[in-house]
Amino acid sequence: MYGRYTQDLGTFAKDEAARLRLQQEQGDDGTPQARRPSELLEYSQSRCAPRCAQKWMYGGLDTNVLLQYLAWVTYPTVLITFSAGFTQILAPQAVGSGIPEMKTILRGVVLKEYLTLKTFVAKVIGLTCALGSGMPLGKEGPFVHIASMCAALLSRFLSFFGGIYENEARNTEMLAAACAVGVGCCFAAPIGGVLFSIEVTSTFFAVRNYWRGFFAATFSAFIFRVLAVWIKDEETITALFKTRFRLDFPFDLQELPAFAVIGIASGFGGALFVYLNRKIVQFMRRQKTINRFLMKKRLLFPALVTLLISTLTFPPGFGQFMAGQLTQKDTLVTLFDNQTWSKREPSDEFEYIGILEAWRNPRSNVFVTLVVFILMKVGASCPGWPRPVPGSPFCWAGAAFGRLVGESMAAWFPDGIHTDSNTYRIVPGGYAVVGAAALSGAVTHTVSTAVIVFELTGQISHILPVMIAVILANAVAQSLQPSLYDSIIRIKKLPYLPELGWGHHEKYNVRVEDIMVRDIPYVSLNCKYRDLQQVLHSTKMKSLALVDSAESMILLGSIEREQVGALLSQQLHPQRRLQALRQRARASFEDGHRLSEASINTEASSFAPTRSGSRKPLKPALKRVPSAPTNSPPGESVPCAHHGTPPMSPC
């Protein structure tokens, strides 16, 4: 069942197995025949190995090397150029991974035009072309962005039927679940997808949203794998990269130091990857000549990078030293293979069958091929990030590095590490699984990559080595560099507060008052028009703070500068002024009419007979002179109401 790694039962069983193997290898005429181990049958006879268009064009032109080269480099260059041009024209927000922006959005920052339908179309079409090109671009980040856009568009559609979907808290929960869906359907790993979304995108995760994320991620992974069965690529729902490691004795305890070395080395490698990526982007932005050239020739840079990578991976050329003809899926399938590729004896050599043929090179051994492959993937991924296409690098280099350590261990211990007189040969594929999880966790600063790897391979036999390597890789990487997503947030200068790493404990003593800006223009409720104009002319800020009063300085909210200008133009427009004057004149006319009626009533009541003999003088209405009272003594004068002169004589 486990091929050459089956447990030996004794000397007789070893000799008998060797004799039977020799008989199978030699036919009746004594000529050797190729061996086909049982572990490789699923790869060589796989129903899910369709040839991509690039390999089809390359294989059809085998009579001319020059035509093969042109077909090999033209196909990815055209797709990458189309992807870059389409996204730049339709929606530049679709460029890049998508996880850094989602981290910023889930922190409460509004990024306009990032979760729109136009960006969704640009992301889907651009990602399809970018992945079809065969370049070292991953899909976990773009899938998170696509799922988030689906959630946002669905919330907007359902808001027409129910107002609850307009709630900001509900939208945040929808986006958090969408991030889990993006990772879950990408790797068919619902559990790891939910945990990855919590670690990467959320600082404070609502527990009530936990089951929603699992529900959505499970259905997305189920549909993703069911589609493979419906299109006849799989017979049933299985792991995406199924492995067949032995379960009775997966590894020896003495191999744990080797797994720990993989974790520590992956931590340093992940930090180096993040550092090189940030420095390359900063160098390109700092150089004005390069920056000006990239701004004018937006499509030339991705085309040149794709042309260079395609030239290096050309199979008859330098690509023969790095298995350049393998696709991304085939690369991981071969790296997770549980056969040993290196020689154990001068007369013993592994027969490369099927897609494993790409790793054999008569001019070099498997160690040189793996080293060149690792350097190529790291070198192609670092300058690949600034390319204006939707995508993010996938750490095949981690699996290759783990495979390199596993092959080295198999070469150093050809008969395995002896334990109680039993021999268990080393499984290099297990080292590849450990390396892939460790480097991915080091780059992203997550531990959930271990769970994703378990769901990808369908086995948990190496759960202890994987967890040890991932934890050590995270410890080393977090002490040296921020995560890849935090680094991109810094490069793009998004409004996001990154986590404080090790060695920055003094920043915990920094208070808000030490970094806050105190002289901020504001608008109070009792400010005058002159104060408002002074604020608008003294600053160019897009938003103005609204406070209760200048004495209390209680913040009530904020108002946009454009809204203030619109309100002022609405209130102080010439037509508005004329309308206000007309309303004021009409109001004054109505008040005067009411006062005239009151004066007439007052004069009529003054001639009415009084009950008593004495009568008090009434106040004049509308500055009119009242009639002289009958009880006024003779010679007494009445004040003149028209001139306001002192009472000397009658007017």
Q: What is the mean pLDDT of residues 223-250?
A: 80
Is a pLDDT exceeding 60 seen at residue 449?
yes
Phi-psi sector, 114: left (phi>0), alpha (psi -120 to 50), beta: alpha
Cα–Cα–Cα angle for 471, 96, 442, nearest 5°?
10
In this structure, what token pair is assigned to residue 611? 């009950």
Angle between helices 168-187 and 210-230 (to 10 degrees): 40
Q: Using 50, 70 and 90 to split pLDDT, how confident is the model at 135?
A: confident
Distance CA 283, CA 136 (A): 22
Q: Which residue has the higher pLDDT, 291 or 618?
A: 291
Q: What is the mean pLDDT of residues 263-282?
A: 88
Ranked by mean pLDDT, the top range of 91-95, 446-450, 496-500, 584-588 is 446-450
Give, in order, the Cα–Cα distances in Å from 617 to each of 99, 598, 602, 603, 626.
88, 17, 12, 12, 8
- Residue 599: predicted pLDDT: 60
Q: What is the pLDDT of residues 500-519, one digit of tens each?
A: 666 666 667 788 888 887 78
- Is residue 335 within 8 A of residue 322, CB to CB? The reply is no
Is a pLDDT exceeding 50 seen at residue 632?
no
Burial 233-266 (b: 16+ CB within 10 A, else e): ebeeeebbbebbbbeebbbeeebeebbbebbbbb
Q: What is the pLDDT of residues 47-57, one digit of tens each?
A: 434 446 777 77
Strands ordered across the beta sheet of 555-560: 522-524, 543-547, 555-560
For residue 192, give the 3-state DSSP assignment: helix
Distance CA 365, CA 603 (A): 123
Give the dihedral of Cα atoms 75, 81, 85, 88; nearest 10 deg. Answer: 120
Q: Residue 544 forms beta bridges with which residues?
A: 559
Phi-psi sector, 340: left (phi>0), alpha (psi -120 to 50), beta: beta
Give, in order, the Cα–Cα distances in Å from 174 to each of 107, 151, 178, 398, 606.
14, 6, 6, 33, 79
- Residue 343: predicted pLDDT: 63
Distance CA 451, CA 194 (A): 10
For residue 212, give the 3-state DSSP assignment: helix
In this structure, what token pair is assigned to residue 331? 């690369």
Is a pLDDT exceeding 60 seen at residue 306?
yes
DSSP 559: E
Query: What would the DSSP string read from start to end of 578-600?
Result: HHHHHHHHHHHHHHHHHHHHHHH
Ranked by mean pLDDT, the top range of 33-42, 366-375, 436-445, 602-611 is 436-445
Q: Which CB contacts under 8 angstroms, 24+ apart, belong to 1-7?
A: 1/38, 2/39, 2/244, 2/246, 2/338, 3/37, 3/38, 3/39, 3/338, 3/339, 4/37, 4/339, 4/340, 4/425, 5/246, 5/338, 5/424, 5/425, 5/427, 7/248, 7/249, 7/422, 7/424
Distance CA 510, CA 517 (A): 14
DSSP 523: E
In this structure, what token pair is assigned to residue 60? 């059809």
Q: What is the pLDDT of residues 53-84, one digit of tens each?
A: 777 777 777 778 888 888 888 888 999 999 88
For residue 381, give the 3-state DSSP assignment: helix
Number of H helices, E strands in the chain: 24, 3
Distance CA 338, CA 388 (A): 38
Is a pLDDT exceeding 70 seen at residue 164?
no
Tell how far CA 171 is from the center of its chain. 17
pTM, two decimals, is 0.70
**Nearest of 375, 367, 438, 437 to residue 406 by alpha carbon:** 367
Distance CA 111, CA 560 (A): 16
In this structure, what token pair is assigned to residue 70? 């042109």
Tell me, what amino acid is at 540?
K
For residue 343, give the 3-state DSSP assignment: coil
- Is residue 439 within 8 A of residue 477, CB to CB? The reply is no
Tell how far CA 600 is from the center of its chain. 81
Q: How many Å is the Cα radius of gyration of the chain?
A: 40
In this structure, what token pair is assigned to residue 61? 């032109």
Identify the helix (H) or strand (E) that includes residue 560. strand 555-560
Give, in order, the Cα–Cα distances in Å from 140 to each of 171, 259, 390, 420.
22, 26, 11, 45
- Residue 595: predicted pLDDT: 64
Length of the chain: 651
